[in-house]
């Protein structure tokens, strides 16, 4: 029933099936909760636990999940890694240590690209993560198709398990959504100003500055005007912003300088 519920959950903005996340013998409920939160951030929903030390369900995990309850509630528990990956067809083993196992080693971005390519073919994919203290053992790594590692500082290669999941989930989401962002403010103030609007603005501000003796010495006026125009051209003003600027200039023209006490 839980498996069916997990697959029925919608992942906003993504059409591809999300990979599963397998945690091998996680020790702390808090870490499991933070993994669930990281998964929810980037649209992963299938969390599988292999022999969690403190059992399951976990109030500490739920508390640390920060409302990622759809992940927590559909988490499944397995007695061994073989059972946890049994229905998967392509598995990545994440590790920060060199292994005496002849497998391809790729980074998280490459893994995400391969995961998407596999899921487009209908292949079920999973990422396997090890214990907080010492990661995956060699037998577990041997079950994987490829090893995923990160370009960490080799003198301090240990990542919190939720951090490792976050990086992999981020790379997958970035690829699955073609790096689209959830929102943009580019159109907040409307369309870019037309050149006609800009030219009227330039004429307005230059006339106002001329009346106040801004262009001194006079022989440098053409250069100053060009630089002034360039400042506003680089700003890529919208039509609304140009109208605001013209209102500012008109305000100075009408009221001049207002001193304290006036």
Contact 101, 76 (CB under 8 A): no
Domain map (residue ranges) of the chain: 2-176, 195-255
pTM of the model: 0.72
Query: Residue 91 pLDDT more than 90?
Result: yes
Give the DSSP letter string of the chain.
-HHHHHHHS--TT--SPPPEEEEES---HHHHHHHHHHHHHTT---EEEES-TT-SS-HHHHHHTTT-HHHHHT-EEESSHHHHTTT-SEEEEE-SS--SS---EE-HHHHHHHHHHHHHTT--EEEEE-BTTTB--HHHHHTSSEEE-----TTS----HHHHHHHHHHHHHHHHTTT--S---TTTT-SBPPHHHHHHHHHHHHHHHHHTT-S-SGGGHHHHHHHHHHHHHHTT-BHHHHHHHHHHHHHHHHH----TT-
What is the structure's pLDDT at 179?
75
What is the structure's pLDDT at 48?
98
Query: Residue 1 pLDDT more than 50?
Result: no
What is the structure's pLDDT at 107?
95
What is the structure's pLDDT at 132?
86
What is the structure's pLDDT at 209?
92
**55 vs 26: CA distance, rounded Å:** 10
| Residues facing residue 47 across a β-bridge | 21
Per residue in 209-243, pLDDT tens? 998 889 999 899 999 999 999 999 999 899 999 99
Q: Which of the pair, 261 or 165, is modelled with greater confidence? A: 165
Q: What percent of the chain has pLDDT over 70?
A: 88
Contact 115, 125 (CB under 8 A): yes
Q: Which CATH class is domain 2-176?
A: alpha beta
Query: Residue 259 pLDDT more than 70?
Result: no
Query: Residue 249 pLDDT more than 60?
Result: yes
What is the structure's pLDDT at 7?
41
**169 vs 43: CA distance, rounded Å:** 8
**141 vs 126: CA distance, rounded Å:** 13
Pick the CATH number of 195-255 from 1.10.150, 1.10.8, 3.40.50, 3.10.110: 1.10.8
Query: Residue 97 pLDDT more than 80?
Result: no
Per residue in 113-125, pLDDT tens? 999 999 999 999 9
What is the structure's pLDDT at 74?
95
Tell me the average pLDDT of the chain: 88
Mean pLDDT over 57-61 rounds to 96
pLDDT band of 156, cuts 50, 70, 90: confident
pLDDT band of 136, cuts 50, 70, 90: very high
């Amino acid at each position: 029933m839980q498996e069916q519920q997990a697959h029925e959950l919608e992942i906003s903005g993504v059409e591809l099936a999300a990979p599963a996340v397998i945690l091998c013998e996680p020790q702390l409920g808090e870490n499991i909760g933070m993994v669930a939160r990281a998964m929810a951030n980037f649209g992963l929903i299938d969390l599988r636990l292999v022999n969690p030390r403190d059992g399951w369900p976990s109030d500490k995990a739920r508390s640390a999940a920060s409302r990622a309850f759809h992940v927590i509630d559909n988490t499944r528990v397995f007695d061994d890694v073989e059972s946890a990956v049994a229905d998967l067809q392509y598995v990545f083993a994440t590790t920060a240590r060199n292994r005496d196992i002849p497998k391809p080693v790729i980074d998280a971005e490459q893994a995400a690209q391969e995961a998407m390519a596999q899921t487009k073919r209908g292949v079920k994919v999973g990422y396997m993560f090890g214990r907080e203290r010492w990661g995956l053992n060699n037998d577990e790594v041997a079950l994987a198709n490829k090893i995923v590692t990160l370009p960490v500082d080799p003198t301090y290669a240990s990542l919190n398990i939720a951090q490792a999941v976050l990086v992999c989930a981020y790379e997958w989401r970035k690829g699955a959504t073609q790096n689209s962002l959830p929102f943009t403010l580019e159109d907040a103030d409307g369309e870019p100003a037309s050149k006609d609007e800009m030219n009227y603005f330039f004429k307005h501000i230059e006339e106002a500055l001329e009346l106040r003796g801004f262009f001194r010495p006079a022989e440098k006026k053409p250069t100053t005007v060009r630089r002034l125009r360039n400042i506003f051209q680089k700003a890529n003003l919208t039509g609304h912003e140009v109208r605001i600027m013209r209102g500012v200039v008109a305000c100075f023209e009408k009221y001049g300088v207002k001193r304290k006490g006036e």
